[in-house]
Amino acid sequence: MSVENVVYIGSKPIMNYCMAILSSLRDESRVALKARGRAISTAVDVAEVTRNRFMQNLIVENVEIGTEELESEGRMRNVSTITIVLKK
């Protein structure tokens, strides 16, 4: 999967990410949503809103969860991650 087909989820409104997914799926058949920490619930919402409102034929191909170690304020923290792959 190329870098263009990855949508990084953060703190913007859900519809911004839905439009990014729809734009990406014009040219490609797959798109990956990536999120960390508190943005994980937003990533799930974005995937479901896109599937239910805009593209009913969209399939969740894969979901990967994991943990990353990040340095924050001089100490190491574990942060949860998720990658959701959507396919036309």
Residue-wise pLDDT for 51-69, tens only, equals: 999 999 999 999 999 999 9
> Rounded CA gap, 6 and 64, in Å?
14
Burial grade of 51 (CB within 10 A; 0-12, 13-18, 19 or more):
middle
Q: 12 with 64: CB under 8 angstroms?
A: no
Domain spans in the chain, listed from the N-terminal domain onward: 3-87
Residue-wise pLDDT for 6-36, tens only, equals: 999 999 999 999 999 999 999 899 999 999 9
| CATH code linked to domain 3-87 | 3.30.110.20
Q: Provide the whole-model pTM.
A: 0.89
